A and B are shown apart, each in its own frame.
Chain A
Amino acid sequence: MLEIKNLHARISDGREILKGVDLAVKAGEVHAIMGPNGSGKSTLAGVLSGKPGYEVTAGQVLYQGSDLLAIAADERAREGVFLAFQYPVEIPGVNNMYFLRAALNAVRKQRGESAMDAGQFLKAVRAKLKLLEIGEDLLQRGVNVGFSGGEKKRNEIFQMAMLEPKLAILDETDSGLDIDALQTVARGINALRGPERAIVMITHYQRLLNHVVPDRVHVLSGGKIAKSGGKELALELEQTGYGAYGDAA
């Protein structure tokens, strides 16, 4: 599904943040990428999703066998790449439901499916709302406007559930969540696990991984994958910290 080879990337001030990342994620797998602050976790998410502000200087990213970096952000999204934002963005005046329907129909069009009418859409929405314990009133509000931190994160996972991506990248989705919200979000993520889908969870802490158990865990440090292992690696990190993996910068 996703193959990252020797990926180097820098930010606008010229600093190189990713210094040769190698990673392969197969369909059906859930991978966790952990690491200290400043290790390049969010940069990796940004580069994969096509966020402006990064320059890839070397390396390659293959998505379903073709060059992911060659296509624009919106095209990547329509091809099935989803990023759950660490800080979801507010869009005043744009109804959350309207936004989601526009997004869903853009993605469906790409998949060769017909646009959903309001009735079908509402039906699909209701089922997912329940899963993520989101009130219908949230849908009628502006996109992320006035949402609490927990509501924003749940809304991201709700969008993911609706859009059914092939590759989901979750950037610190667990940060700022209380334990109940964490469990709800985890339930949402688990419901999306499936043989056709790859999930990459970027997180600083181990606690999300208690609820969404990963197949593989990687430690990103100094812009490279410093260690990879099974789910037990996350527990080990919780004990020892990131100190063993050297200077984050």
Chain B
Amino acid sequence: MTDTVAARNLAPLREGYKYGFVSDIESESAPPGLNEDTVRFIAAKKHEPQWLLDWRLESFRKWQTMESPHWAKLRIAPIDYQAATYYSAPKRQNAPTSLDEVDPELLKTYEKLGIPLNERAVLAGVAVDAVFDSVSVATTFKKTLGKLGIVFCSFGEAVREHPELVRKYLGSVVPQGDNFYAALNAAVFSDGSFAYIPPGVRCPMELSTYFRINAAKSGQFERTLLVADKGAYVSYLEGCTAPQRDENQLHAAVVELIALEDSEIKYSTVQNWYPGDAEGKGGIYNFVTKRGACRGARAKISWTQVETGSAITWKYPSCILEGDDSVGEFYSVAITNNFQQADTGTKMLHLGRNTRSTIISKGISAGKGQNTYRGLVRIQPKAENARNYTQCDSLLIGDKCGAHTVPYIEARNPTARVEHEATTSKISDEQMFYCQQRGLSTEDALSLIVNGFCKEVLKELPMEFAVEAQKLLAVSLEGSVG
């Protein structure tokens, strides 16, 4: 009986993807295919300096010698990299200097997403460097930030305006040949965001970027570089939605964080890309390399992610704890429903003394979703008194999904203290009935139970993001019980 109840409960989960529409904006795209000319085309389009073109070409040559990783617990249909388009930008040539100059179609698109850029930015005190496809179209609050010496702009602009900073840090955390997808990104990255917080400055607002994949068949290759100088603090928000498509879309972003002495970077992501339909058709392939380096003593990097979208998620936001007493944190909620697959986790590399790391991972599987936590904690020989605490919890909804936990622990210093806890539980019919008997609808009951399960992670998100994330969890699981 329990099984049939669970199965019946699983039926009505589909509200459909709310943001599945395609904006009618003419794209100026590179011809499909990938070779050195493609790389040169992108660099030329973006008027990039020679050093960056050389860097791209070097990356491309490395990429050609590499193979896509196959150790993750993911079933991926072969990807034809020559069939994809590697550059696509809204047609307008001159970068707009204010919202008035932004293509009205673009603004409408943001509105459908519930992101009226002008209002939202003002009301929420958030500076938005919005990436539409590959080129930044609007940047707000720049002046306020500028007074404090904070640089927050598109990657392309940073290359032009602050080449010394970009050259110093680009590829310093995620080297060009780090992995297949990172190398691909280094060769063909289109745009992204850059932020630099000068010494001792506390960034007064949450920095925020909305990414959105739009043009058909265009891969999306963002590159984000964030530097917190000595004693600086910054909280960065990244949120994503994508329109509905039948073809799988490739996304391979790279995010590099550098935290110098006594600085802190808080990086929060809510990822809601199109996960494919209920039959497993379509959806985004999300292969992301995110890594932060605590380069000085007492530096802190904290990753928080809520991953609800994408057909396939391959993502391991990591921390390299070089400075003594530096701190790394990873808080994650990953949901897989229908045919979604996620292989996600983190790496905490302890190099300095008294370094500490915390990993809290919450995986939720529904439908036929497969969810894997994969994490590495490595304590190097010089990392005296390093400590790690890891907690991995999995929640199953229904009986056709899967949860897997793959922790790797390498302790090369006898003073290390590494703790790992893992649980797997299932939403029981009793829990659902208890909530329903108190008057809660099936959806509300599910949302309540799931949010309770994720609480330790959600509380790490900035307030407005946390509210959004809670709603998203509910939407992502709609119909998984009923």
**Which of chain B's residues has its CB closest to A11's CB?**
B1
Q: A73-B433, A163-B438 are in contact. Are A106 and B444 (CB under 8 A)?
A: yes
Partner pick for A77 among B5, B430, B439, B449, CB 8 A cutoff: B439
Most chain B Cβ neighbours within 10 Å, of A73, A82, A110:
A73
**Which of chain B's residues has its CB closest to A94's CB?**
B452
Residue interface bits B277-319, CB-to-A below 8 A is 1, else 0: 0000000000000000000000000000000000000000000
Q: Is A94 touching B434 in the complex (CB atoms < 8 A)?
A: no
Most chain B Cβ neighbours within 10 Å, of A49, A94, A107, A163:
A94
Total CB contacts across the A-B interface at under 8 A = 84
Q: Is B437 an interface residue (CB 8 A)?
A: yes
Q: Is A102 touching B455 in the complex (CB atoms < 8 A)?
A: no
Q: Is A130 an interface residue (CB 8 A)?
A: no
Residue interface bits B447-471, CB-to-A below 8 A is 1, else 0: 0110111111000000000000000
Complex: A171 Cα to B394 Cα, angstroms: 32
Q: Is B240 an interface residue (CB 8 A)?
A: no
* Residues of chain A within 8 A of B444, CB atoms compared: 102, 106
Cβ of A48 to closest chain B Cβ, rounded Å = 11
Cβ of B234 to closest chain A Cβ, rounded Å = 29
Q: Is A91 touching B436 in the complex (CB atoms < 8 A)?
A: no
Q: Is A83 touching B1 in the complex (CB atoms < 8 A)?
A: no
**Which of chain B's residues has its CB closest to A159's CB?**
B438
Q: Is A89 touching B440 in the complex (CB atoms < 8 A)?
A: no
Residue interface bits A144-174, CB-to-B below 8 A is 1, else 0: 0000000000000001000100000000000
Number of interface residues of B (CB under 8 A): 27
Partner pick for B436 among A72, A95, A163, CB 8 A cutoff: A72
Q: Is B439 touching A91 in the complex (CB atoms < 8 A)?
A: no
Q: Is A52 touching B1 in the complex (CB atoms < 8 A)?
A: yes
Q: Is A91 touching B434 in the complex (CB atoms < 8 A)?
A: yes
Q: Is B442 an interface residue (CB 8 A)?
A: yes
Q: Is B23 an interface residue (CB 8 A)?
A: no
Partner pick for A74 among B5, B439, B449, CB 8 A cutoff: B439
Residue interface bits A79-113, CB-to-B below 8 A is 1, else 0: 00011010011111111000110110011001000
Q: Is A93 touching B438 in the complex (CB atoms < 8 A)?
A: no
Q: Is B429 an interface residue (CB 8 A)?
A: yes
Q: Is A73 touching B436 in the complex (CB atoms < 8 A)?
A: yes
Q: Is B435 an interface residue (CB 8 A)?
A: yes
Q: Is A102 touching B429 in the complex (CB atoms < 8 A)?
A: no
**Which of chain B's residues has its CB closest to A83's CB?**
B437
Q: Is B451 touching A77 in the complex (CB atoms < 8 A)?
A: no
Cβ of B100 to closest chain A Cβ, rounded Å = 41
* Residues of chain A within 8 A of B2, CB atoms compared: 53
Q: Is A218 an interface residue (CB 8 A)?
A: no
Q: Is A12 touching B453 in the complex (CB atoms < 8 A)?
A: no
* Residues of chain B within 8 A of A110, CB atoms compared: 439
Q: Is A106 touching B454 in the complex (CB atoms < 8 A)?
A: no
Partner pick for B5 among A11, A52, A72, A102, CB 8 A cutoff: A52
Complex: A50 Cα to B438 Cα, angstroms: 12
Q: Is A28 an interface residue (CB 8 A)?
A: no
Q: Is B435 touching A91 in the complex (CB atoms < 8 A)?
A: yes
* Residues of chain A within 8 A of B438, CB atoms compared: 77, 99-100, 103, 106, 159, 163
Q: Is B441 an interface residue (CB 8 A)?
A: yes
Cβ of A40 to closest chain B Cβ, rounded Å = 17
* Residues of chain B within 8 A of A107, CB atoms compared: 439
Residue interface bits A38-65, CB-to-B below 8 A is 1, else 0: 0000000000011111000000000000
Q: Is B441 touching A91 in the complex (CB atoms < 8 A)?
A: no
Q: Is A20 an interface residue (CB 8 A)?
A: no
Q: Is A106 touching B437 in the complex (CB atoms < 8 A)?
A: no
**Which of chain B's residues has its CB closest to A76's CB?**
B437
**Which of chain A's residues has its CB closest to B432's CB?**
A52
Complex: A77 Cα to B442 Cα, angstroms: 13
* Residues of chain B within 8 A of A83, CB atoms compared: 437
Q: A93-B455, A106-B444 are in contact. Are A77 and B437 (CB under 8 A)?
A: yes
Q: Is B454 touching A12 in the complex (CB atoms < 8 A)?
A: no
Cβ of B332 to closest chain A Cβ, rounded Å = 16
Complex: A83 Cα to B439 Cα, angstroms: 11
Q: Is A78 an interface residue (CB 8 A)?
A: yes
Q: Is B431 an interface residue (CB 8 A)?
A: yes
Q: Is B1 touching A12 in the complex (CB atoms < 8 A)?
A: yes
Cβ of A82 to closest chain B Cβ, rounded Å = 8
Q: Is A91 touching B449 in the complex (CB atoms < 8 A)?
A: yes
Partner pick for B454 among A73, A90, A91, A93, CB 8 A cutoff: A93
Complex: A51 Cα to B448 Cα, angstroms: 19
Q: Is B434 touching A74 in the complex (CB atoms < 8 A)?
A: no
Complex: A102 Cα to B451 Cα, angstroms: 13
Q: A52-B1, A53-B1, A99-B448 are in contact. Are A91 and B440 (CB under 8 A)?
A: no
Residue interface bits A133-145, CB-to-B below 8 A is 1, else 0: 0000000001000
* Residues of chain A within 8 A of B442, CB atoms compared: 74
Cβ of B190 to closest chain A Cβ, rounded Å = 40
Extra contacts besides A73-B433, A89-B431 (9): CB < 8 Å? A11-B1, A50-B437, A52-B429, A77-B436, A85-B437, A92-B453, A93-B455, A103-B438, A142-B452
Q: List 18 A-B contacts (CB under 8 A).
A: A51-B433, A51-B437, A52-B1, A52-B429, A73-B433, A82-B437, A83-B437, A89-B428, A93-B451, A93-B454, A93-B456, A94-B449, A94-B452, A99-B438, A99-B448, A102-B440, A103-B438, A106-B439
A residues in contact (CB < 8 Å) with B: 11-12, 49-53, 72-74, 77-78, 82-83, 85, 88-95, 99-100, 102-103, 106-107, 110, 142, 159, 163
B residues in contact (CB < 8 Å) with A: 1-2, 5, 428-431, 433-442, 444-445, 448-449, 451-456
